[in-house]
Amino acid sequence: MLPNRIITLLINLIFMFSAGKFVSSCIYKAVGDKVVISFDDAILQKDNELKWTHDKQKVYLRKGSQIKLNQLNVSEDGSLILENIQKDQSGEYKGIIYDTDGKLITETVQQLCVLEPVPEPTVLFECVEKGVNLNCSAVNNAEVVVSWMKNGIKTSATRLFLHVTSSELKSGDNFSCTVSNQISKKSAEVVKPGCVVTDLHTTTANEDKTREMNNQSENKNIKGNCS
């Protein structure tokens, strides 16, 4: 025999689908877009009651032919129409249709997420003693995803800041970053840092050779003065 909590859950699910309730994932739209939220196959009758809410606040109410509240645009078939949407219009939209007896016919629930397109990024770099520091100049927030390319190959880096060590840096290496969100994607122009890669052993050997040559020159000068 099934536990009581499982039976209760099954009853709730049956009620949801029998009532025509449908909840979908977030619709991502850009600022300025147009959005239409409909009841799918449901047909709105003239004597039905129609209600729309935004984040549980009533924005439209019609009972039969009488419109009681009209803060947003609604079409003849009951669809909610949002034009030139802005970020503050993100949220949950719920539409409900009742018959003349107040019995639920159907409802729809839709989450709307309005985003700004990502900005055009630029790669800035700084040559440092142990390599090069690169920065992808873009707005850093939870909505933006960052990726880096090195010599045309995608790296595992996902932050705006990237450090490349001297051992990983070769002459002619180029870099670019890409920023994206659910509605847009832009890439920066490729840059070649041109940082001097210093080999510690080569530098030390050159310094020793220079020191030796200076010592030999000083010795010659001393001998010449003595003679």
> Given pLDDT bands bounded at 50, 70 and 90, which one contains residue 216?
low
Instruction: Give residue limits of the domains in the chain.
Output: 19-115, 122-195
The superfamily (CATH) of domain 19-115 is Immunoglobulins (2.60.40.10)
pLDDT computed for residue 7 by the predictor: 38
Domains 19-115 and 122-195 share a fold: yes
> Given pLDDT bands bounded at 50, 70 and 90, which one contains residue 188?
very high
Residue 223, both tokens:
């001998």
pLDDT in tens, 63-86: 998 999 999 999 999 999 999 999
**For all residues of the chain together, what is the average pLDDT?**
82
Work out the percent of the chain whose per-residue pLDDT is above 70. 74
Question: What is the Cα–Cα distance from 142 to 16, expressed in whole angstroms?
Answer: 33
pLDDT in tens, 118-136: 999 999 999 998 899 999 9
Evaluate if pTM is beyond 0.85: no
Dump the DSSP string for 49-112. Answer: EEEEEETTEEEEEEETTEEEEESSEE-TTS-EEE-S--GGG-EEEEEEEE-TTS-EEEEEEEEE
CATH (residue range 122-195): 2.60.40.10
Please list, in sequence order, all residues whose beta carbon lies within 8 angstroms of the beta carbon of residue 42, skipping any fewer than 6 positions away: 20, 78, 97, 105, 106
Work out the percent of the chain whose per-residue pLDDT is above 90. 67
